[in-house]
Amino acid sequence: MTDQSRAGSSGSLGSIGVEIAGTAMHLPSTKLTNHDLEQMMDTSDEWIIKRTGIHTRRRADIAGGETTSVLASEAMRKALENAKIDPKDLDLLLVATMTCDSPTPSIGCIVAREIGCRDIGAMDINAACSGFLYTICMADAMIRSGQYKTVGVIGADTVTRHIDYSNFGRGAAILFGDGAGAMVLRATDDPSIGMISHEMHADGHGAKHLFIPSCEIDFPEEAEFDERKLDKVQMNGQAVFKFAVTKFQEVIQETLTDSGLTADDIDHFVCHQANSRILDSARERFGIPEEKLLVNIQKYGNTVGASIPIVFDELMSEGKLKKGQKVMFLAFGAGLTWGSSLWQL
Ligand code: UT7
């Protein structure tokens, strides 16, 4: 690909930078452990831990009011508090989600109302597990354009409502959990702070490997229509696993090459949590020490768009993030989508 046709890479930074002023997460209160799943389907704690690294995950009680918009609003409210920024000072809200409460209004509009914003831009972005990564790339560009100063970005999903907790759906049932994570991004006058390089990719030919059908026409050619699958996550685990291992490594290399850095120059790899074996393969390939790649999948499972801001918030709360450090965000997911976003704090 020529430089002009690339779907990412580093560009000129101008005079505005982007700082991460505050972060937070919000999780549903109900835990769903591997032992709980053993009661619901033919699986075992040992199998799940060995194949995925997951011990427990959270499950939103939608009927009890734990909707995506509620989790997202709580995460954003706490992130603003941590940033000491008044909700009225936000001028844009972007929400990465593939599990909107209903087709319309967007989660962005509901969050804006719930946290007390007035007359701001608000919308949702759907790139499945890559959604939050796409969202921070866009937010950085919008702030650097000079048109927005303070942007709230959220990753929030309640995908467990699309899970079949029977033997029939056990492949996906063990993986997913619900949650929300948020960041407040703010303009600074130091252009070296913020995103320094990025890659955004999508290949719809792989859509058939991970999808949620609403009706018969949503089934790909090679899949037979089955009413039990409607509204439930359909995943070819092995195909997604191979795609993830390959693209994860490719996109790390692509980002390092674009930015002229080596893996040793990166202080933290903040990765989408889908399977600990996928993360291990990237660590081994690039010689990344454990302390530079936080794995928290054991506690939350795969929380789709929420996983990256949840990892980042844990690093922030543990005091592991310092000004001047370089952080590479990495994600892959349904679509198929994948990408990276390299930041200087
Ligand atoms: O955000 C992106 C979302 N998705 C992913 O990243 C998913 C990527 N894929 C994966 O993580 C893995 O493919 C899974 C964890 C989903 C499955 O692990 P696997 O090692 O690929 O297992 P498999 O599908 O090859 O199945 C191996 C065996 C089979 O039994 P046989 O044929 O060897 O007797 C399955 O029937 O394990 C069986 N199996 C299970 N056993 C207990 C499949 N699911 C389960 C289960 N519990 N839940």
Position 4 scores a pLDDT of 39
Helices 68-83, 107-115: axis angle to 10 degrees equals 50
Residues 15-31: tens digit of each pLDDT:
999 999 999 999 999 99
Q: Does the beta carbon of 276 sit less than 6 angstroms from any atom of ligand 1?
A: no
Q: Does the beta carbon of 234 sit less than 6 angstroms from any atom of ligand 1?
A: no
Quote the ligand 1 centre to 171 CA distance (angstroms).
5
Per-residue CA distances from 28 to 77, 84, 95, 121, 181 (Å): 16, 24, 18, 27, 12
Quote the ligand 1 centre to 298 CA distance (angstroms).
16
Is residue 275 among the annotated active site residues? no
How many angstroms separate the CA atoms of 122 and 107, rounded? 8
Weakest mean pLDDT among 4-13, 168-177, 228-237: 4-13
Q: Does the beta carbon of 129 sit less than 6 angstroms from any atom of ligand 1?
A: yes
Q: Is pLDDT of 41 > 60?
A: yes
Residues 188-229: tens digit of each pLDDT:
999 999 999 999 999 999 999 999 999 999 999 888 899 999
Q: Does the beta carbon of 21 sit less than 6 angstroms from any atom of ligand 1?
A: no
Is residue 137 among the annotated active site residues? no
> How distant is the alpha carbon of residue 336 from its chain centre?
14
β-strands 268-271, 326-333: how paired?
parallel
Quote the ligand 1 centre to 314 CA distance (angstroms).
28
Report the CATH number that the domain containing residue 110 is assigned in CATH: 3.40.47.10
β-strands 210-211, 56-58: how paired?
unpaired
> How distant is the alpha carbon of residue 213 from its chain centre?
21
Per-residue CA distances from 317 to 261, 303, 340 (Å): 27, 19, 23
Best probe residue, ligand 1, of 51, 162, 167 (max atoms within 8 Å of C-beta): 51
Residues 117-132: tens digit of each pLDDT:
988 999 999 999 999 9
Q: Does the beta carbon of 244 sit less than 6 angstroms from any atom of ligand 1?
A: yes
β-strands 337-344, 194-202: how paired?
antiparallel
Q: Which residues pair with 330 in a beta bridge?
A: 271, 340
How many angstroms separate the CA atoms of 79 and 91, rounded? 15
Reading the block at residue 281, the tokens are: 């393969």
Can you count the helices (H) and strands (E) in the chain?
10, 13
Residues 231-282: tens digit of each pLDDT:
999 999 999 999 999 999 999 999 999 999 999 999 999 999 999 999 999 9
Return the closest-CA partner of residue 247 out of 289, 207, 202, 311. Answer: 202
- Give the pTM: 0.94
Instruction: Strands of the chain (E only): list them.
Output: 17-26, 31-33, 56-58, 92-96, 121-125, 150-157, 179-188, 194-202, 210-211, 234-235, 268-271, 326-333, 337-344
Print the domain residue range for 84.
Answer: 1-345
Give the gyration radius of the chain's Cα atoms.
Answer: 19
Position 6 scores a pLDDT of 44
Q: Indicate the pLDDT class of residue 10, thresholds 50, 70 and 90.
A: low
Quote the ligand 1 centre to 235 CA distance (angstroms).
10
The number of distinct structural domains making up the chain is: 1
Q: Name every residue whose Cβ is closer than 8 Å to that of residue 260 and which is 6 or more positions away in sequence.
A: none
Q: Does the beta carbon of 49 sit less than 6 angstroms from any atom of ligand 1?
A: no
CA dihedral in degrees (102, 106, 107, 113; nearest 10)?
-120
Which residue do the tokens 């930041």 mark?
343
Surface-to-core class of residue 237, CB atoms within 10 Å of its CB (0-12 exposed, 13-18 middle, 19+ buried):
middle
Out of 100, 109, 117, 129, which one is annotated catalytic? 129
The protein residue with its alpha carbon nearest to ligand 1, atom 20, reads: 51
What three-state secondary structure class fits 42? coil
Best probe residue, ligand 1, of 275, 279, 302 (max atoms within 8 Å of C-beta): 275
What three-state secondary structure class fits 17? strand
The protein residue with its alpha carbon nearest to ligand 1, atom 17, reads: 237
Q: Name every residue whose Cβ is closer than 8 Å to that of residue 306 and which is 6 or more positions away in sequence.
A: 25, 71, 132, 155, 156, 157, 178, 179, 180, 181
Q: Is pLDDT of 12 > 90?
A: no
Q: Which residues pair with 329 in a beta bridge?
A: 270, 341
Q: Tell me, what DSSP letter sits at residue 336?
A: T
CB distance 100 to 67 below 8 Å: no
Is residue 236 among the annotated active site residues? no
Position 224 scores a pLDDT of 87
